[in-house]
Amino acid sequence: LLGLHPYDASKSCADLLARMFAHTYGLPVAVTRCANLYGPGDPSRSRIVPATMLSLIRGERPIIRSDGSPLRDYLFVRDAVGAYLALAQAVAEGPAAGRAYNIGTGVPVSVLELVKQIVAVSGVDLPPEVQNTASGEIVHQYLDVRRAAEEIGWRATTPLAEGLSATYTWYKSIHDRHS
């Protein structure tokens, strides 16, 4: 909650305001702090999963802007939906209102390992180009998800390789339809 950049600060403010409204006015809200979401339907080519998959589909080497070592938590979109549904039920029943929950796998994966897994599920043998030009990135960003498991009974269930495979299949089908 110590946002030092505009995006971070806006997230911190929204978090604090939501919890304040729950506490002060009894508003049935809770806060989610999600890991990096990925899955079918993501149109953003600036995110690592879509960008890597689209590069491979076009027969191009995927680009890693960092040195590949930053650790992240990657959450399949279907698991995120399950978390939101579980949290909505817990808020409606009362105990989760006004609380904040980290939603993720709790398993850190390096950017390089993520790209290698995408290459593996794609079946396209193109090694990534590690540019090491990124600056100002948070080096390690992953979540402690124990509260979500303990209080709302939710855990991510989709293994990374399975989620990446489903996502790659979707991007490939969209690309093939438009080729």
Residues serving a catalytic function are 7
Report which DSSP code applies to 2. -
27 sits in which H/E element: none
Whether residue 124 contacts residue 171, with contact meaning beta carbons closer than 8 Å, is answered with no
Nearest-Å Rg of the Cα atoms of the chain is 18
- Mark out the alpha helices in 48-101 (DSSP H runs): 48-57, 77-93
Report residue 38: phi and psi, to 5°.
-145, 160
- Identify residue 166 by its one-letter amino acid code: A
For residues 56 and 59, give the distance between their C-alpha atoms in angstroms, rounded to a whole number.
5
Tokens linked to 109: 């994966």
